[in-house]
Amino acid sequence: MKEKLQELYSRAITDIEQVNDFNSLQNVRNTYLSKKSELNGLMSKMRDLSPDERASFGQLINKIKSELTEKIENKRKEVEEKELQEKLMKEVIDFTEPNTTFKKGSKHPFNAVVDQVCEIFIGMGYNIAEGPEVELDHFNFELLNVPKDHPARDMQDTFFIDENHLMRSQTSPVQAHVMLSKNGEGPIKIISPGKVYRRDDDATHSHQFGQIEGLVIDKNVNMGNLLSTLELFARSMFGEKREVRMRSSYFPFTEPSVEADISCFECGGKGCSLCKGTGWIEILGAGMVHPHVLEMCGFDTKEYQGFAFGIGIERVGMLKYGIDDIRRFYTNDIRFNKQFDKE
Ligand code: DAH
């Protein structure tokens, strides 16, 4: 029986050594250590032995059992480690492989213009102010010197929500919000970009568009300050050589009111199709803040004056990039939007 045991032992050792994967190891364990194993079969034959032989045989069989258990356990660790390494090797991700599906987004041309304009004015010390798009009639019109029956309301017909609430037709009400928040104490130096709404719809007008409002209130502010501010803006936005001229105009909330033109950047002022032969392009409305508006918004007109301006965002974009139709800003045609990748 001892020889049988010896033979079994060396067979088990060879089998364990040859095993290379977890499943085969499991089979080897079943063959040599399970209840139905040969080893257990031999144990049941022990009763045929003499008591002495039985004792030494029992010891031997236990020793073999624990040795095989240990060897199988060691092999298990070895095989598991090997299988893990193989799995990791197969799962290796090649970070250097070129990615063909990822597309980098770009700034929408509308936002590109807003960012450029804001950057120019922030450079001049302006802060950004915001106001609501659903506005009270009081702020959109009355505080800006446009009472209920004023004919200037016709130019800015917009979407009313009820008698007192409307989609703001201009960013100018932000002027009133900011002034009232200051309790009559200057200085104020803000710009306010945002969306506005009107009953308009053609190649150069949309029912929704963007404006950037500017407001400066301080002591000793005059038209010269307004002109030099607009010149600095025009030159930063449209090129060093731009000249600015102011034409007399009318806005209810400014007095005097002007429309500012820049010398045409296409022809340098000689006259071309862009400037319709005049050499000048209109870019914004502006003026000195009307004393009545200052008063309604809590400022003492003997102490404070101010200027304001309103810039059309899409208009600046259309001029700067030669865009022919305002609706291109809103249709989200990727081929159009992608052209402003660099802005
Ligand atoms: N709010 C005017 C408009 O939408 C534009 C404007 C003109 C704004 C003159 C101003 C200004 O601040 O001073 O037509």
More confident residue, 150 or 49: 150
Q: Is any atom of ligand 1 closer than 6 Å to the C-beta of 312? A: no
Q: What is the pTM of this model?
A: 0.71
Atom of ligand 1 minimally distant from the CA of 214:
12
- Which residues are paired to 258 by β-bridges? 248, 286
Q: For residue 180, give the DSSP letter.
A: H
Q: Is any atom of ligand 1 closer than 6 Å to the C-beta of 288? A: no
Q: Rank 30-34, 62-66, 216-220 by mean pLDDT and report only the highest.
A: 216-220
Across 190-194, 203-207, 267-271, least confident range: 203-207
Which whole number is the average pLDDT over 135-148?
Answer: 97
Residues 6+ apart with CB under 8 A from 98: none
Which whole number is the average pLDDT over 44-52?
Answer: 83
Answer whether residue 343 shows pLDDT above 60.
no
Distance from the alpha carbon of residue 312 to the mean position of ligand 1, in angstroms: 9
Average pLDDT over all residues of the chain: 91
Q: Is any atom of ligand 1 closer than 6 Å to the C-beta of 286? A: yes
Distance from the alpha carbon of residue 273 to the mean position of ligand 1, in angstroms: 26
Q: Is any atom of ligand 1 closer than 6 Å to the C-beta of 337? A: no
Q: Hey, whose CA ends up nearest to atom 6 of ligand 1?
A: 310
Ligand 1: which of 251, 293, 309 to mutate, most ligand atoms within 8 Å of CB? 251
Can you list the positions of beta strands (E) in the chain? 127-128, 134-136, 165-167, 188-197, 208-218, 244-249, 254-263, 280-289, 305-312
How many Cα neighbours within 13 Å face the side chain of 64?
A: 24
Distance from the alpha carbon of residue 198 to the mean position of ligand 1, in angstroms: 14
Which whole number is the average pLDDT over 89-118?
Answer: 85
Distance from the alpha carbon of residue 286 to the mean position of ligand 1, in angstroms: 6
Q: Hey, whose CA ends up nearest to atom 3 of ligand 1?
A: 170
CB atoms within 10 A of CB 33: 15
Distance from the alpha carbon of residue 2 to the mean position of ligand 1, in angstroms: 110
Give the pLDDT score at 275.
87
Give the pLDDT score at 342.
65
Give the pLDDT score at 92.
81
Residues 6+ apart with CB under 8 A from 184: 298, 299, 300, 304
Render pLDDT for 317-337 as a digit per residue (tens, 0 to 9). Answer: 988 888 888 889 999 898 888
Atom of ligand 1 minimally distant from the CA of 213:
12
Q: Is any atom of ligand 1 closer than 6 Å to the C-beta of 251? A: yes
Which whole number is the average pLDDT over 306-315?
Answer: 96
> Contact, 220 vs 305, CB < 8 A?
yes
